[in-house]
């Protein structure tokens, strides 16, 4: 229909607005490195202009659409950069679908977490956070933000959390999933202590697999094609999830809630079963893990739905939602403005209305402090 | 019951023998490096005795039982080596359960595939193959063998396949799954051409993840505990499976059949759905992939059942078997003599008899040339 290809012609009417929507995965970006310059020290300004290096993402990143972006958005491929700015986000997404809360998850400085020089990484994260505050968060009160941190610089990350973590629109910290050590490793504990203290959600998102100081994106080395890299994503999320559980992160930080974005849920039911079986078999080796892994997941971990799993029938989807306790664990995420965007009106259309409300809003609201500062 | 803890007291009666059994995963091993010496050149004999280095497996390997082995077997922990010899295999497994065909999958020289010096790797594989012919295959006509090759030395592997691939009990080549490049990479094509020519099945088995020239076992680096390493296994199998499909291996080698051992099937249904969806979305990038990934899988890939998935109800297991077309794709494997052994009499007890026959024998017989030389 014409409103799909020319969304602006629909005015500001929310399409099919029936329930509150919290979209947990909206990618905002800089248009070029110049956007970061006002927020950097002289030495880092020089470094960025002379040598580059925001290093957005891994080698096959979003190899669909235009540089990974939807081709129907007017700003796509502006200056070859395929950036959708805040006006585009408001008009073509928030207003169009009646999104009540939109979590900005960035992308531009994911690479900062995996470079050898973590001071430079942390400086770029700070600059990106300041840029986001000024050019995005200040423009629309519906926006929330999982702030950038350099995951491999826990001390720097804690400083950044202390600097900005109380901002009313900052509700999480973004942790790109390609990493030199899994996120349950005690190396990261200072980050989780700071997140717990500020009520922030460590928010995992793919994007640095196989990049810089991070090894290959699979235990079988580097795949050749984008499609293979997509298919390798559940593996990295599984490694982090097993790490959180078996390193005892949730015993150490009982109020911590963690979000896993853009990894879908197809892999989750059997992984929960396997974690539970394996724990039963060898739990004497990790005695600090005090209950079934799936119980920790229900209490502490939330997943978003994108990319939407496509099982052979709607009945199977219902079953999968039950297996993962979607009424507590699942959140909606659109991945706007990427080419494999899940449209809110087309997602979970045929499931129970109460469950839809939880997935589209309540579960996200329960972990991300969406009304913080309201 | 007493026959379980003292199997020898049951005599040679096959427990609950009703259908033909082909066990696709039986780990045989050397007792010590000395077993390989008669089959090595002088220089490699010296190397092995003075410097060691069969490097069985990765850092957390089978950290259950006694060195990963069942504790109820009489030979467990002999000389601290936890080896079950051929007499033990015959008595406590083949005779006990009435196994008609047992595929030896080794383990002792998996490490040979991932060391920097591939000539030494190939020499150790040859020695292990000769040792297996003399001390295992010659002792029982029910035994078959997925011979050792150094996967990172395709030329050496092809030579070894030409040397031994026609032996009536050799029906596959063993490819340990931790690898510097995924197995669909064209680097391995000479191996597949040789396998196709000799009717041998490339047989994937975990065991070298994170070892030697192979990077971390996950895209998130090294986990700390054995249980995490177990949970990382599906990820590496997924990388190889996506690689076979999207590199076009089965278009290049239309008669090739590949076996995936000891990775279970829990992860498979959603991975098939995801491969099909992703192929639909970006198939223009890999135009040599001519049909749905799941169709290639049905035709070319076989999985064994161990470790047995434990879904919430038997009905879900039935469903999973249907989703993966188990009537064509699934085989039984016990993982004898490891601690997480799946007992034939306790596996798939309650499924349709026709399907049991296919899983326990017919599907394996259809790809491994079990009656070769008969």
Q: Which residues of B touch A274 (CB under 8 A)?
A: 230-231, 234, 264, 266, 309-310
**What does the pLDDT average to over A155-173?**
98
Task: Report CB contact under 8 Å: A274, B285.
Answer: no
Task: Report CB contact under 8 Å: B340, A181.
Answer: no
Task: Report CB contact under 8 Å: B63, A276.
Answer: no
Task: Report CB contact under 8 Å: A220, B230.
Answer: no
Half-sphere exposure of A365 (CA within 13 A, CB side): 14
**Touching check for B374 and chain A: CB below 8 Å?**
no
Low-confidence ranges of chain B (pLDDT < 50): 1-13, 56, 79
Q: How far apart are CA B68 and CA B121, in angstroms?
A: 24
Among the listed ranges A262-271, A299-308, B11-20, which one has the minimum average pLDDT value?
B11-20
Angle among Cα B213, B218, B223 to the nearest 5 degrees reads: 100
Q: Please report the sign of the dihedral spanned by the C-alpha atoms of residue B277, residue B278, residue B283, residue B288.
A: negative
CA distances from B244 to A61, A266, B105, B270 (A): 21, 21, 21, 18
Contact A362, A332 (CB under 8 A): no
CA dihedral defined by A183, A186, A192, A194, rounded to 10 degrees? Answer: -140
Which among B172, B116, B179 is positioned nearest to B151, based on CA atoms? Answer: B179
Contact B233, A267 (CB under 8 A): no
A338: DSSP letter? B
- Which pLDDT value is given to residue B5? 35
Contact B300, B257 (CB under 8 A): yes
A85: DSSP letter? -
Which among B107, B28, B101 is positioned nearest to B368, based on CA atoms? Answer: B101
- Token pair 């799946």 is at which residue? B342
Contacts of B186 (CB under 8 A, 6+ apart): B247
**What does the pLDDT average to over A128-149?**
98
Confidence of residue A121 (pLDDT cuts 50, 70, 90): very high
Which among B80, B121, B340, B336 is positioned nearest to B211, based on CA atoms? Answer: B121
Task: Report CB contact under 8 Å: B219, A236.
Answer: yes
Confidence of residue A237 (pLDDT cuts 50, 70, 90): very high
- Token pair 């099945």 is at which residue? B201
pLDDT tens per residue across span A66-102: 777 787 887 655 545 567 889 999 999 999 999 999 9
Average pLDDT over all residues of chain A: 89
Q: How many CB pairs (< 8 A) connect A and B?
A: 234
pLDDT tens per residue across span B207-244: 888 888 888 888 899 998 999 999 999 999 999 999 99
- Which pLDDT value is given to residue B198? 97
Question: What is the side-by-side order of every strand in the sheet holding A101-104?
Answer: A22-26, A101-104, A143-148, A170-176, A201-205, A258-261, A301-304, A330-331
Which among B184, B304, B220, B227 is positioned nearest to A151, based on CA atoms? Answer: B220
Segment 193-222 of chain B within 8 Å of chain A by CB: 209-210, 214-222
Contacts of A207 (CB under 8 A, 6+ apart): A56, A57, A58, A61, A107, A110, A176, A177, A178
Segment 230-249 of chain A within 8 Å of chain B by CB: 230-232, 234-236, 238-240, 242-243, 246-247
- Which pLDDT value is given to residue A340? 85
**What does the pLDDT average to over A221-234?**
92
Question: Nearest residue on chain A to B60, judged by CA atoms?
Answer: A285
CA distances from B1 to B4, B7, B340 (A): 6, 10, 19
Whether pLDDT at A369 is above 50: yes
| In chain A, domain spans | 10-373
Chain centroid to Cα A149, Å, comes to: 13
Q: Which residues of B touch A273 (CB under 8 A)?
A: 266, 309-312
Chain centroid to Cα A243, Å, comes to: 18
Contact A105, A261 (CB under 8 A): yes
> Structure tokens of B265?
């099937």
Task: Report CB contact under 8 Å: B214, A221.
Answer: yes
CA distances from B271 to A267, A311, B105, B274 (A): 7, 10, 26, 5
Task: Measure B43 CA to nearest chain A CA, in Å.
Answer: 31
Task: Could you list the beta-strand ranges (E) of chain B.
Answer: 22-26, 101-104, 143-148, 170-176, 201-205, 258-261, 301-304, 330-331
Confidence of residue A372 (pLDDT cuts 50, 70, 90): confident
DSSP string, B333-348: ---BTBTT---GGGSS
Angle among Cα A223, B115, B195 to the nearest 5 degrees reads: 65
Question: What is the side-by-side order of every strand in the sheet holding B330-331?
Answer: B22-26, B101-104, B143-148, B170-176, B201-205, B258-261, B301-304, B330-331
pLDDT tens per residue across span A15-60: 555 799 999 999 999 988 899 999 999 999 999 988 877 664 556 6
> Per CATH, the architecture of B10-373 is what?
Alpha-Beta Barrel (3.20)
Whether pLDDT at A313 is above 50: yes
**Touching check for B67 and chain A: CB below 8 Å?**
no
Segment 308-327 of chain A within 8 Å of chain B by CB: 309-312, 316, 319, 323
From the number of C-beta atoms within 10 Å of its C-beta (0-12, 13-18, 19+), residue B316 rates as middle
**pTM, full prediction:** 0.92
Contacts of B261 (CB under 8 A, 6+ apart): B24, B25, B105, B203, B204, B205, B303, B304, B306, B333
**Touching check for B275 and chain A: CB below 8 Å?**
yes
Residue bearing the bigger pLDDT, A342 or B159: B159
Q: Which of A217, A266, A309 sits opposite B219 (nearest CB)?
A: A217
Q: Pairing mode, if any, of strands B301-304 and B258-261? A: parallel
């Amino acid at each position: 229909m014409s409103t799909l290809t020319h969304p602006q012609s629909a005015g500001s009417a929310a399409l099919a607005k029936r329930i509150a929507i919290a979209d947990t995965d909206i990618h905002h970006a800089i248009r070029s490195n110049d956007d970061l310059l006002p927020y950097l020290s002289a030495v880092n300004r020089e470094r960025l202009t002379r040598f580059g290096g925001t290093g957005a993402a891994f080698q096959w990143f979003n190899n669909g659409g235009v540089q990974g972006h939807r081709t129907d958005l007017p700003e796509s491929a502006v200056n070859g950069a395929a950036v959708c700015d805040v006006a585009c986000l408001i008009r073509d997404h928030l207003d169009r679908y009646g999104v009540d809360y939109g979590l900005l998850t960035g992308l531009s400085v994911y690479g900062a977490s995996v470079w050898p020089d973590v001071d430079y990484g942390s400086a770029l994260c700070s600059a990106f956070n300041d840029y986001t505050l000024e050019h995005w968060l200040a423009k629309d009160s519906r926006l929330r933000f999982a702030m950038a941190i350099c995951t491999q610089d826990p001390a720097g990350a804690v400083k950044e959390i202390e600097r900005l973590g109380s901002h009313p629109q900052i509700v999480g910290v973004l942790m790109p999933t390609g990493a030199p050590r899994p996120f349950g490793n005690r190396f990261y504990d200072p980050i989780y202590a700071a997140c717990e203290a500020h009520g922030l959600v460590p928010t995992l998102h793919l994007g640095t697999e196989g990049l810089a100081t991070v090894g290959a994106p699979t235990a079988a080395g580097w795949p050749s094609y984008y499609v293979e890299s997509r298919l390798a994503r559940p593996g990295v999320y599984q490694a982090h999830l097993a790490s959180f559980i078996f390193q005892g992160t949730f015993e150490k930080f009982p109020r911590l809630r963690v979000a896993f974005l853009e990894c879908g849920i197809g892999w989750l039911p059997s992984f929960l079963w396997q974690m539970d079986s394996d724990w039963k078999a060898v739990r004497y080796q990790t005695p600090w893990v005090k209950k079934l892994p799936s119980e920790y997941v229900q209490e502490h971990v939330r997943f978003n739905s994108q990319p939407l799993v496509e099982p052979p029938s709607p009945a199977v989807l219902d079953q999968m939602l039950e297996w993962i306790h979607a009424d507590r664990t699942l959140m909606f995420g659109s991945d706007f403005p990427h080419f494999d965007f899940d449209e809110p009106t087309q997602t979970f259309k045929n499931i129970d209305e109460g469950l839809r409300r939880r997935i589209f809003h309540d579960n996200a609201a329960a972990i991300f402090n969406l009304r913080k500062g309201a």
